[in-house]
Structure 1
Amino acid sequence: MKYTIIDDATNEIIRVLKIPNAVLDVEADKEAFISDVLELELEDGQIAIEGNYPPELFTYDGFDFHEIEETETRDPILWTPEKLLVQLINELRDEGYMLPLHRKFMKNKEHARDLIDLAASQTCEKYVSKGKFTLTEYMLVSDEVKAWRTAGSPSDAIPEMLADWLEVSDFSTAEEAAVDIETQSSVMKHVIRNTRKKRLAGKRAVTAATIENFKDIAINVIAEIENIQP
């Protein structure tokens, strides 16, 4: 089932929202479920009309949808490769795929908050870890070194992950390898804390913002997150 999201003030078609049939098939009260979904998806000043009327193919006059004729003049930016790619990404996201959005084309506060999350993830990948597995690995070895320190750093009980790092690194002693891990852990935690603080505050600011200024707020927050240094 698809709904077309429209700006009630300008009649601009924003996007098409798809509610997967698989979800509806198991939902006891479909109308209540759909109402809850739309309440979460719609921003202030937006309405939803049942039907699939994508903005690149239809216009809306406040009463009816009208198919765009091939001979009609269209906004040139709508058909640039960049715009078409963003349109495809939006459609895939509506289908449930986890894909990023470009900040230039954020349509609503949900998109803005997603972009803030994405910026935070990219900053952590730049300074902390290239993926969840590596991050988990860093956390584990940091915990092992901390426990080893608590036990007095015994040379006859070097933690396995610390020993692995000592073996493949250029360090000569477990102490040197442990100091390196502790240093990297400190940098990692600093970046994560600062990024998280700005991410949460930024998303809260976007939620509280007006329709007119939420995009500017989101772009400024993203820039701050991208400029975080270790």
Structure 2
Amino acid sequence: MDAPGAGHVYLMFDSGIDEDQADDYFQPNDYVPFEGKAWIPVETTLYGQGDFRTAWRNGVQEYYQRKSEGTVNEVDLRTARLITYPPGRIESVTSPPPTRQQMLAFVQSDIQQFAAYVRQIVGEPQNTPLNLYNAGAHYLRIGRLQESLDLMDRVIALDNNFADAYNTKGVIYTKMGQYDRSNFDQALDMFNQGLVLEPSNAGIRLNLAIVYILRGGDGDQGRALQEYNQAQQLDPNLQDALRGIIDEP
């Protein structure tokens, strides 16, 4: 970000999150929508003087203040070489890097602040199955698997007939399977418990088929095909859901 009137250049980076999904991850005005992505402004002069959240908070406040004044321009570094800027003079400043202990403290602070920030976005749900489920689904959307799992457990503790909670737990364990393949077995157990409650739930049967494919054990290909066929019978819209992934005879 170029602020000509301030004689200052700010930095913002692409979070990798699409703009239309940003509200799941950020509070309003905590990011900059730019080229279809959510970008994070940071005040780099705070390097070594505080945690990331402080640099982020200062950067985003400065951006929106200058944006309202019309004194900031977004410049993509990929095309910046096509723009000519007048040479500047920067005084030499010695800035020693943080020590290992300081870096660990900064990282720990960032982790704690991010967890608190996410809780603010999701909100503290009322202790009812539906509210807890919705909060858990939000955590799942932003990849906070353990928080989502904990909330689904609370849903089931209040209502053990909440089929979607079992299904969501199955999805969580499926995602965890990339780190520990034993989680695929737990995912299958959750999906099967969901089917006991809702045997005609096509989505759960499709999820079962996916886990069988991912687990890849003896006979899993046949089990996947069986669940996939039943899912298609229940919901014809799923006919092409696993095309090219599952081998049909």
TM range (shorter): under 0.3
Q: TM-score, normalised by structure 2?
A: 0.23
Q: TM-score, normalised by structure 1?
A: 0.24
User: Which has the bigger relative contact order, CA under 8 A and spacing at least 6?
Assistant: 1
